[in-house]
Amino acid sequence: YKLNQKTYDEAKDLNDFYKKCIENNRHYTSCNNDSGDCSKQLEENTGYNNYKEIINGRMNLLSTNIKNMPKIYDAFKLLCNIYTELGGSNTQNNKYLENASEFVKKYNELNNVSDNTKDDAYYQVLTTLSNDYINLKYYCDNNRIDCSSIPSLIPTETDESGVQSSGKSCNVTSPSLSIVNKLILALSIFSVITIF
């Protein structure tokens, strides 16, 4: 989100930003704070010696286009607000329904990007957004909250050429399937980290 607030010459995606601003920047290759070296503490907490190692472990995410970052941020923020409002003591004000409608609108804008393929980090972000939104219905059921008015999503789908399919309305899937999808994504990320 912050990347889009300031223009960087010739930086069209996070990979360009990485090469221009992070790759050879000593602030990312050494962990220092006011009291001295914090590399040991960083390694104990994350398993990495410096911030650049953390970023290098997630290189697949660097292909995300910077211009989409504010929309992705807005969608995640709306989703967090919905969960916060549903977890609060007063779910009768229906503010979460307004946020849900706005989330679906933002999600559909993100989902209509034509160069989306299943191997793309952008697709993985959309899938995570979709799964977390769908899990709202399970959250409501488990907490006895009426979420029947929450709008449905058009699923995130692409074909092999990267052109999105559309039309089907997303119904609630089984929680175990959603958990399996998240587990596969997490394992993929960890396997990439071990390679680097």
pLDDT digits (tens, 9 = 90+) for 111-123: 887 666 665 677 7
pLDDT at residue 190, rounded to an integer: 44
Q: Please state the rounded mean pLDDT for residues 8-27.
A: 71
Given a cut of 90, whether residue 102 has pLDDT beyond it is yes
- 101 and 182 inside one domain: yes
Given a cut of 80, whether residue 78 has pLDDT beyond it is yes
- 10 and 89 inside one domain: no
What domain range includes position 110? 68-195
Global pTM value? 0.54
Residue 8 lies in a domain: yes
Number of domains in the chain: 2
Contact 133, 125 (CB under 8 A): no
- 78 and 10 inside one domain: no
Which residue type sits at 73?
Answer: Y
- 83 and 157 inside one domain: yes
Q: What is the pLDDT of residues 148-189, one digit of tens each?
A: 888 888 766 543 333 333 333 333 333 333 444 444 455 455
- 12 and 105 inside one domain: no
Question: What is residue 125's three-state secondary structure?
Answer: helix
- 107 and 181 inside one domain: yes
Among 21-35, 43-57, 78-92, 102-116, the minimum mean pLDDT is found in 21-35
Residue 63 lies in a domain: no
- 44 and 124 inside one domain: no
- 87 and 124 inside one domain: yes
Kindly give, in sequence order, each residue whose CB lies less than 8 Å from that of residue 156, ignoring residues fewer than 6 positions away: 111, 116, 123, 126, 127, 130, 164
